Structure 1
């Protein structure tokens, strides 16, 4: 099993890179994980709804172009389903047992295109709160790492 995180946007603040890099190093012994940054579509100051749809389409096409035929696509969206870290751990165990490679897609500031939504096997929400995209990267990789530590009886995760 491999995990690839496709994320719209580049040039993250230093605190994001520090956090992501730390958890990315920690997770590697458990599961090969990679983060791929995709450039955000250029936006204007007074964009119309049509412009926003165009940006979503450009970014969505870029996400879909990165997919390999054997990967399970999961779109991160505020309207997706939420679940506990323990449920994530069991889900990741299922992926590993099935040998399933997984792509987690973080959309741009305007969300995912309809094409990405339709291609996704399911939609996952880290929170019903609207989170800044840089923070989503850190939270996502930390939760993946935490789930893997649960699966490997590592002391990082302490319930209760």
Structure 2
């Protein structure tokens, strides 16, 4: 990832309190070749993603066809998600997206933007939105609605 992406994610991750710590787990994309079709590549990536997920985590998949939540809606979901005691795993797909069966496992399918965004940038936007949603729950002045 470009250094500025790493810095952007790290900036918002360090702002989060310990009880809402952000942990980034990067999954190496499947090497593209003429021998493998997209479906087999997505399946291989799905297996690596599933292996990296915390056990019993709430799966939130980011997808262009997902629900279009506002930051306020995310802020409203955070307290109940936290109360159930499970980790929350936000999954960002690669350039080819995610295997359909992984999308179907999601408890929430969210859309980040109507714009087409570089996948690397999505992690920064997600980290910022999680920080902003948390700040709303704490009535912190970061969010000026």
- TM bin (shorter chain): over 0.9
**Which has the higher mean CA deviation after the structures are superposed, 75-84 or 27-36?**
27-36
User: 1:97: how far off?
Assistant: 2.3
State the match for 1:27 in structure 2. 16
The TM-score, its normalising length taken from structure 1, stands at 0.85
Q: Alignment partner of 1:38: what SS?
A: coil
The structure with the greater share of residues assigned to strand is: 1
Q: Alignment partner of 1:34: what SS?
A: coil
1:102 to 79, 84, 88: 88
Say whether 1:136 aligns with 2:122. Answer: yes
User: 1:131: how far off?
Assistant: 1.0
- Structure 2 distance, partners of 1:20, 1:34, is 10
Say whether 1:59 aligns with 2:73. Answer: no
User: 1:122: how far off?
Assistant: 2.0
State the match for 1:18 in structure 2. 7
**Count of residue pairs brought into register by the alignment:** 145
Kindly indicate whether the alpha-carbon contact (under 8 Å) linking 2:59 and 2:89 is maintained by their aligned counterparts in 1. Answer: yes
The TM-score, its normalising length taken from structure 2, stands at 0.93
Kindly indicate whether the alpha-carbon contact (under 8 Å) linking 1:79 and 1:128 is maintained by their aligned counterparts in 2. Answer: no
User: 1:29: how far off?
Assistant: 4.0
- Structure 2 distance, partners of 1:154, 1:68, is 29
Runs of 5+ consecutive residues of structure 2 not aligned to the other structure: none
User: 1:28: how far off?
Assistant: 3.3
- Deviations, residues 102-133 of structure 1 (Å, cap 9, x unaligned): 10101111001022112211211111222110
2:105 to 94, 115, 119: 119
User: 1:27: how far off?
Assistant: 1.2
Runs of 5+ consecutive residues of structure 1 not aligned to the other structure: 1-11
